[in-house]
Amino acid sequence: MSLRPLLEDRDRAPRMVMFGGKGGVGKTTCAAASAIWAARRGYSTLIVSIDPAHSLSDSFGFSIGNRVVEVGEVPGLSALEIDPSEALREADVRAAPSVPLLDQFGLAELSSLTIPGMDEAMAFVKMVECMERGDYDLVVFDTAPTGHTLRFLSLPDFLDSWVGTVLKIRMKLSHIFNIFKGLFSRGREGEEFEDAYKKLERVKGLIEKAKAVLKDPSQTSFVLVTIPEAMAVAESERALEALAEYEIPVRYVVVNQVVPEGVECELCRARRAMQLRWLGEMRSSEAFKGLEIIEVPLFDREVRGVADLERFAEYLFR
């Protein structure tokens, strides 16, 4: 099995490929290797990470950070590590503005409330914006661990409730703003509260747009990365169920760190036997039915730097 069919046909290839899965299974390595493979074959490629750990810099062996940089060893490849907190600050999304009138009525806390998961959501939005600008043929996305990704997918429903609550508060306070607006220039308090509400609505729309892109198989493909061990396989099954619920297209599963056949070490042979049992479980599981399972061997050293990543890509795209 191979990822080659995913990107071999330029006319049918998705604009975005996302790599996700449990922490520590090799998502970043798979994403970086795939981005190099695509760039070597003429795709103008951007690899993006929103994993707070930002192991993308470690994978390539140089500092990337929160701005687009070229990967000098690979023409046509750029990289970006989005800072979710910075993305949220740029969006300036709050439940309400910081205005004196809220403080007078004991509601100053509204201006400091943060929306759970919003920083991650804004990072996703920035990633989709990168794709839609059309600067790149392909955007390869290195996600945070599975739970973060799934929390983003559920955020629009949560925002419905959140925005509804803010709207109710705004309506209850509207008469107060009207009473006191003469004390403020052109009703500044009411206008700023209205602006805060509109920002929430705008962001909710952006997230819905991002979700639509993720659901479109002509634009997005999600590659699940795992290892052949009990906890990783169990989490992968749960992730596949959740991704199916959100209608996110998944066709490929990369099983990383498989102990090669023919090893002489007794411990290695025992570990390989254990892994083969879990590979068998995956192939017979209803959750993995119909998916292309790609096995990548355990390497004898850390995969780091372009040369190692290209070697890794040979197993992904063989």
User: 252-279 burial, b for 16+ CB within 10 Å, e for fewer?
Assistant: bbbbbbbbeeeeeeeeeeebbeebeebb
Cα dihedral value 59, 62, 66, 69, nearest 10: -100
Please tell me the predicted confidence (pLDDT) of residue 307: 96
Please tell me the predicted confidence (pLDDT) of residue 95: 47
The answer to whether 207 touches 155, Cβ cutoff 8 Å, is yes
How far is the C-alpha of 48 from the C-alpha of 126, rounded, in Å?
Answer: 10
Please tell me the predicted confidence (pLDDT) of residue 106: 46
CA R_g for the chain: 23
Query: Which helix or strand (DSSP H or E) is residue 147 part of?
Result: helix 146-180
Give the 3-state secondary structure of residue 235: helix
Please tell me the predicted confidence (pLDDT) of residue 176: 58
Tokens 């759970």 sit on residue: 116
The answer to whether 64 touches 56, Cβ cutoff 8 Å, is yes
How far is the C-alpha of 207 from the C-alpha of 211, rounded, in Å?
Answer: 6
User: 138-159 burial, b for 16+ CB within 10 Å, e for fewer?
Assistant: bbbbbbbbbebbbebbebbebb
Please tell me the predicted confidence (pLDDT) of residue 245: 86
Please tell me the predicted confidence (pLDDT) of residue 273: 95
The domains located in the chain, with CATH, are 4-94+116-153+217-316 (3.40.50.300)
Average pLDDT per consecutive 10 residues, the chain (318 residues; last block may be shorter): 92 91 91 97 92 83 91 94 72 51 48 58 69 84 74 67 63 59 51 66 74 86 95 92 87 96 90 95 92 95 95 96
Give Cα separations from 231 to 30, 59, 77, 146, 235 (angstroms): 20, 24, 34, 13, 6
Please tell me the predicted confidence (pLDDT) of residue 133: 75
Q: What is the pTM of this model?
A: 0.82
The answer to whether 206 touches 234, Cβ cutoff 8 Å, is no
